[in-house]
């Protein structure tokens, strides 16, 4: 829907609402009396609820004594004074509490004030007997009142009969009496009632006994003057019918001259509403235009930055290759060019990964893993991936680990590695010539289920301003202005990815930096402890010698196939190549069982892809079909790609471009104890 249509619809809707409200105001004018009565009726219900709530509070107290008698009458008798003292101290309306065992006033609190009735029988006393017998017959609590009390004043009396269950029958034990001061009870009720300045409220009993009110115009209590024109709602409390009465003090009519005032105010309000609505539409439109302009600018800046940042190392690689081609006889120059090209290629790889990661994060929420892993192994792998690059850049990188009492954890190792590699890469990119980087890992705190680790990366680089850290460091596409002065470029995505991942992992990141002195980044992340971990029977290490291993290598790109085969053969492995999944499957099926020690499988290939080839190998009837290790070697590096590899039956995943140390480490992992494999402890 266009902006113009949206405004038209809003205005039309406004007119419809205005018409409905005008009709509604007319309806109010015609039915004002009826609606006032309904409002009074609603308030009567509220008053009724308040009255019952107040009754229930004291009913609960006296019923607690009854339950105590049923549980253990001797204990209740022993502690009765304490309970009575507590009731009178905490509830102002409670005037006295009695235990009438077998009808006699056996216990009373306060005892001194009630000494004269302690010889009386409840069922013989003219004040108590009728209701006591009534409660005993009903076998449940009743409330009576207001009544004239022995010591003067009006009160409410809770009669709570006590029956003790014996083997096959109930035994009448007696009655628990709680006496409330009617005036204090009324004061408590009045505090909870609202609108007493607008309504008069009264309560009366429909049926009464003895000294109780017998006329329905005599009220138990009332607040204000009750007229004949009133709302009367009956309700039942423990077998007795009570009534709540509401009388509007100024009558039910509303002065007719109020209506024009309401109309005038209503008209002004609608005019203001229309004006505000107009302003809102205008502001919203301006905001939308400005937002779209900023989005377009951000897109153009991003593509411009990405183009420049990726072309810079790519241009360097192409130039170095051209120079090397022109000076084939100068081995020293070619070696230096190779080192520079490797550094540029590593930088280009990071740029591509960050660009893909930010695209993945923008599309939807990050899918964190929740799998067992070894923190030490993740730290090793992250460190290995940047160690050679730091060496090529002339940067000294060191690490230490302190107080690592528990490294077998549950979490998302692939994302933790991504965080560490991004931080290490930034420390190298923003460093100085012959700079230094120090990495430390330490345990911060631990509970039986969760452990918090701290990762600290310190560099001697160019530093950042406090303003940049606070406002721009974790934003997409932002770059350090001081970094521009160093004449280096990148897409500015790495730290936004790091911050997003750390937040998803419930961690924190702190950045401390001084211009021209360096930066310290401190990351704290909680992990669940893996209590089901079982120690492996070997120690991880990287084996350079692959002599004795026979590897089936599959890739549809000849250049990739040649490079990968050369790398493996150069380390002593016997390599058989296949150009697509069907050829790899045929090679596996045509050779005797256990011919191959491992299969390295590309995924996207013509004729048959790597997923299908893996499924067919696993489903074949060869003895080694289920056990032969299959490693996915692919440029598909998203989490969903890795998960798809595992579902197809592959054991491991290696992303292109290949890191030789990572490839060797994974081959070692999946081919341990194979023939010819060296497994010497480090």
Q: What is the pLDDT of residues 565-578, one digit of tens each?
A: 888 998 899 999 99
In 3D, which of 245, 248, 251 has the Cα closest to residue 51? 245
In the prediction, which pLDDT does 316 show? 66
In 3D, which of 338, 441, 434 has the Cα closest to residue 390? 434
In the prediction, which pLDDT does 619 show? 93
SS3 674: coil
In the prediction, which pLDDT does 92 show? 82
In the prediction, which pLDDT does 616 show? 94
Are the C-beta atoms of residues 444 and 410 closer than 8 Å to each other? no
Q: What average pLDDT score do residues 10-29 get?
A: 64
In the prediction, which pLDDT does 5 show? 59
pTM for the structure as a whole: 0.41
In the prediction, which pLDDT does 26 show? 60
In the prediction, which pLDDT does 584 show? 94
Distance CA 134, CA 138 (A): 6
Q: What is the mean pLDDT of the chain?
A: 77
SS3 579: coil
**Number of neighbouring beta carbons within 10 Å of residue 549:** 23
Distance CA 679, CA 682 (A): 9
CATH for the 33-254 domain, from 3.30.450.20, 3.40.1000.10, 3.20.20.100, 3.30.43.10: 3.30.450.20
In the prediction, which pLDDT does 186 show? 78
Q: Which residue has the higher pLDDT, 307 or 96?
A: 96
What is the chain's percent helix, strand, coil content, to nearest 5?
50, 20, 30
In the structure, what pLDDT confidence band is assigned to residue 251 with cuts at 50, 70 and 90?
Answer: low
In the prediction, which pLDDT does 21 show? 62
In the structure, what pLDDT confidence band is assigned to residue 487 with cuts at 50, 70 and 90?
Answer: very low
**Percent of the residues in the chain that have a pLDDT greater than 70, as a whole number:** 71
User: Taking phi first (over 0 means left), then psi (-120 to 50 degrees means alpha), and beta for anything else, what does residue 191 get?
Assistant: alpha
SS3 596: coil
In the prediction, which pLDDT does 527 show? 94
Q: Which residue has the higher pLDDT, 243 or 452?
A: 452
Structure confidence by residue, pLDDT tens digits, 342-378: 766 766 776 676 666 555 555 556 677 788 989 988 8
In the prediction, which pLDDT does 586 show? 94
pLDDT at 679 over 80: no
Task: Say yes or no: domain 365-529 is CATH 3.30.565.10.
Answer: yes
- Looking at CATH, the fold of the domain delimited by 550-670 is given as Rossmann fold (3.40.50)
Structure confidence by residue, pLDDT tens digits, 613-668: 999 999 998 999 999 999 998 877 666 778 888 899 999 988 877 777 788 888 98
Domain boundaries, the chain: 1-30+255-363, 33-254, 365-529, 550-670
In the structure, what pLDDT confidence band is assigned to residue 495 with cuts at 50, 70 and 90?
Answer: confident
- Looking at CATH, the fold of the domain delimited by 1-30+255-363 is given as Helix Hairpins (1.10.287)
Both structure tokens of 226: 């009750």
Q: Select the highest-mean-pLDDT range: 11-15, 276-280, 471-475, 483-487.
A: 471-475
Q: What average pLDDT score do residues 406-432 get?
A: 86
Q: What average pLDDT score do residues 162-166 get?
A: 86
In the prediction, which pLDDT does 485 show? 38
Buried b (16+ CB within 10 A) or exposed e, 158-169: bbbbbbeeeeee
In the structure, what pLDDT confidence band is assigned to residue 519 with cuts at 50, 70 and 90?
Answer: very high
pLDDT at 542 over 70: no
Are the C-beta atoms of residues 633 and 564 closer than 8 Å to each other? yes
Beta bridge partners of 347: none
Checking DSSP bridges between strand 598-601 and strand 630-634, what pairing results, if any? parallel
pLDDT at 55 over 90: no
SS3 246: strand
What is the dihedral angle through the alpha carbons of 227, 231, 237, 239, rounded to the nearest 10 degrees? 90
Structure confidence by residue, pLDDT tens digits, 109-140: 888 777 777 777 888 876 677 778 888 888 88
Q: What average pLDDT score do residues 300-305 get?
A: 58
pLDDT at 15 over 80: no
């Amino acid at each position: 829907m266009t902006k113009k249509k949206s405004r038209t619809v809003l205005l039309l809707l406004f007119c419809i609402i205005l018409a409905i409200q005008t009709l509604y105001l007319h309806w109010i004018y015609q039915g004002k009396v009826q609606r006032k009565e309904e409002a009074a009726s609603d308030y009567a219900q509220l008053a009724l609820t308040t009255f019952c709530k107040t009754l229930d509070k004291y009913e609960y107290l006296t019923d607690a004594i009854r339950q105590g008698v049923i549980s253990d009458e001797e204990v209740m008798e022993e502690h009765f004074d304490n309970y009575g003292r507590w009731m009178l101290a905490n509830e102002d309306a409670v005037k006295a509490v009695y235990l009438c065992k077998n009808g006699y006033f056996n216990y009373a609190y306060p005892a001194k004030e009630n000494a004269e009735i302690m010889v009386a029988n409840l069922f013989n006393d003219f004040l108590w007997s009728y209701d006591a017998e009534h409660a005993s017959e009903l076998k449940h609590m009743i409330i009576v009142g207001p009544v004239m009390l022995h010591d003067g004043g009006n009160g409410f009396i809770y009669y709570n009969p006590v029956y003790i269950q014996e083997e096959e029958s109930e035994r009448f034990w007696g009655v628990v009496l709680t006496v409330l001061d009617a005036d204090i009870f009324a004061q408590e009720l009045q505090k909870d009632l609202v609108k007493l300045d607008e309504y008069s409220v009264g309560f009366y009993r429909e049926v009464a006994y003895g000294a109780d009110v017998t006329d329905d115009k005599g009220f138990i209590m009332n607040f204000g003057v009750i007229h004949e024109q009133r709302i009367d709602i009956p309700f039942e409390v423990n077998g007795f019918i009570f009534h709540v009465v509401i009388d509007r003090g100024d009558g039910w009519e509303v002065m007719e001259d109020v209506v024009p005032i309401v109309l005038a105010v209503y008209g002004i309000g609608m005019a203001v509403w229309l004006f505000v609505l107009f302003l809102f539409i205008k502001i919203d439109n301006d905001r939308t235009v400005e937002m779209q302009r900023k989005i377009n600018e951000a897109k153009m800046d991003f593509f411009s930055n990405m183009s420049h940042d990726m072309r810079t190392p790519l241009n360097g690689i192409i130039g170095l290759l051209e120079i090397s081609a022109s000076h084939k006889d100068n081995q020293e120059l070619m070696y230096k060019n190779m080192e520079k090209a490797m550094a540029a290629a590593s930088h280009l790889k990071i740029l591509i990964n960050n660009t893909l990661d930010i695209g993945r994060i923008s599309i939807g929420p990050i899918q964190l893993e929740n799998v067992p892993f070894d923190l030490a192994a993740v730290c090793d792998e992250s460190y290995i991936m940047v160690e050679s690059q730091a060496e090529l850049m002339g940067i000294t990188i060191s690490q230490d680990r302190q107080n690592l009492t528990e490294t077998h954890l549950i979490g998302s190792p692939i994302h933790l590695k991504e965080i560490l590699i991004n931080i290490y890469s930034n420390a190298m990119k923003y460093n100085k010539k012959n700079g230094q980087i120090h990495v430390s890992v330490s345990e911060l705190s631990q509970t039986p289920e969760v452990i918090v680790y701290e990762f600290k990366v310190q560099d001697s680089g160019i530093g950042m301003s406090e303003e940049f850290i606070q406002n721009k460091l974790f934003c997409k596409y932002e770059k350090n202005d001081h970094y521009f002065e160093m004449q280096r470029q990148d897409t500015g995505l790495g730290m936004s990815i790091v911050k997003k991942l750390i937040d998803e992992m419930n961690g924190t990141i702190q950045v401390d930096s001084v211009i021209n002195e360096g930066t310290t980044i401190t990351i704290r992340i909680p992990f669940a402890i893996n209590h089901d971990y079982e120690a492996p029977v070997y120690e991880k290490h990287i084996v350079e010698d692959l002599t004795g291993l026979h590897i089936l290598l599959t890739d549809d790109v000849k250049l990739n196939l040649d490079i990968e085969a050369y790398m493996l053969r150069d380390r002593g492995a016997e390599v058989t190549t296949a150009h697509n999944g069907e050829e790899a499957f045929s090679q596996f099926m045509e050779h005797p069982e256990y011919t191959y020690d491992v299969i390295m499988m590309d995924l996207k290939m013509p004729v048959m892809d790597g997923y299908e080839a893996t499924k067919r190998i696993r489903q074949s009837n060869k003895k080694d079909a289920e056990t032969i290790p299959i490693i996915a070697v692919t440029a598909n590096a998203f989490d969903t790609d890795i998960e798809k590899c595992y579902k197809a039956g592959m054991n491991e995943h290696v992303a292109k471009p290949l890191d030789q140390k990572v490839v060797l480490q994974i081959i070692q992992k999946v081919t341990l104890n194979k023939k010819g494999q060296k497994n010497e402890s480090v």
